[in-house]
Structure 1
Amino acid sequence: MTTIDVAVRAEAELGEGPTWDAEAARLIWVDILGCRVHTYDPATGRRTVRTTEQHVGAAKPRAGGGLVLNLRDGIALLDPDGSLRMAHREAVPGRRANDAAVAPDGSLWAGTMRYDETPGGGTLSRLTADGTHTTVLDDVAVSNGTGWSPDGRLMYYIDSPTRRVDVFDHDGGRISGRRTLAVVEDGAGFPDGLTVDADGCVWVALWDGAGVRRYTPDGRLDRVVELPVPRVTACAFGGADLTDLYVTTARTGLTAPHPLAGSVLVVPGVGKGLAQPSFAG
């Protein structure tokens, strides 16, 4: 029987982007619409919250300390002393940041979307350590989960309204050969965030699907973890041995939210994750 625990009881409007910061042994996650960056230390229970002036789609650790933030108007660097500076500014009316991920080479892959989710209104871009910004995909509706295979040769990607989990060939920051790994059927929710485990399997959070699915590298569905809240947004492995799956959830748009909607849930010992790189900039 799968055990589901509450890691952080919260009422996040749109909890997203759980990331295990191995250096600090803590979980980082955001409330996009609440403009908050959260951290949680499972060993001590210590939590911190930093409020941002803009909607924040993701927060990832930096190799030199601090965080990189995917904000509404661009990508910012939060230094260890608490100061904030923009690394790339790209303010587009009606558009905001969404999920992001750090590639094996230390570059940040950051997604955007229109607030009204207009098809083609979002992007996926790449920011390198030296500040070079490149738009990789420019015809996206809701840019969401991004992750890489254990050898870095494949990149998995979700544009949620398509209901697909896509896979690309990845080489030196370039992607090609887009194809479908899996499709989430009607009635099962929409694919949202994702993480890749040590076996190369892809774990996908299901918005309005009340669960997380695990797909094998050949696209076969081989596990479903059912959760008590409908709007499951993203997942990541954490803990000292990377065997605990942390899952963020949302309350936004629900007329009668479940008491745990907006909390961070954890599924102990459900698999084995990969150590995640920090942003090199």
Structure 2
Amino acid sequence: LARANLNSFSAGEIQDQVNAFSRAGTVEIQLTAQDVSAWGRDCGNTLPSLLQTISTIPPPAMLRVGMMNPATVMDILDDLIDAFTGDRVFRFLHLPAQSGSDRILSRMGREYSVAEYEEIVRAFRKKIPDITLMTDMIVGSCGETEEEFSESLDLIARTRPNKVNVTRYSRRPFTPLAKEKDFPDSVKKDRSRIMNTAVEALYSEINAPRIGTTVPFVVTEKIRPGSVMARTPSYLGIVINEDHPPGYTGRALLKKDRKYFFIGERQE
């Protein structure tokens, strides 16, 4: 991995920014970094303690925690899960797996195993069963065998994420594989196609039972005149074809599955 030294913003700076966004009427406040769960490791602090502090914002503002590295999640796992149960935190977990092969993870310089990744997912789901899981997968990395690619597909099938960002490997300077022999683009494209086909079928399986259910929502943004994007507490996206301001709350009947979001109808 090619990463700069960690330099965490102070808890006070983040608290001030969150409060300012909340006062300005922002509904979805995102905490972002290359690895959000590493926050505070350079100054004796932790992400769970930060979340406990800043999740005191008043409704309708909600916090969305960004991408976290399994390697830095493991040390704070229990406290992190507790922090995610707060009312002002979306039940949304962006946890990149990158590969279902320990050998490939090691060659990438990742400091976690497939088993540790699955342990984190199980632990979150045990405490927060409806949490939305997003993950990232890299296909066609240098030296990835057909069997190792299949291991990535198997990991997706076991963990059943709600969203998978599939990326074809591309050479990056100063990374462990930078000088390794690369696959032809045709191999990467083929594996990307196979994985995307598999995950789209999975989305349909996961989403089908939700059709016909009624869920709470908060409007986070206007898409266009007469249409808004709303989010459930577990960050499922719902397009509602009505005009409502950000922060408007209600309940919606899920009518149609669009794989990455739902079409919903507001209920009186």
Normalised TM-score (structure 2)? 0.27
The structure having more radius of gyration, on CA atoms, is: 2
Please state which structure has a larger fraction of its residues in helix: 2
Higher relative contact order (CA 8 A, sep 6+): 1
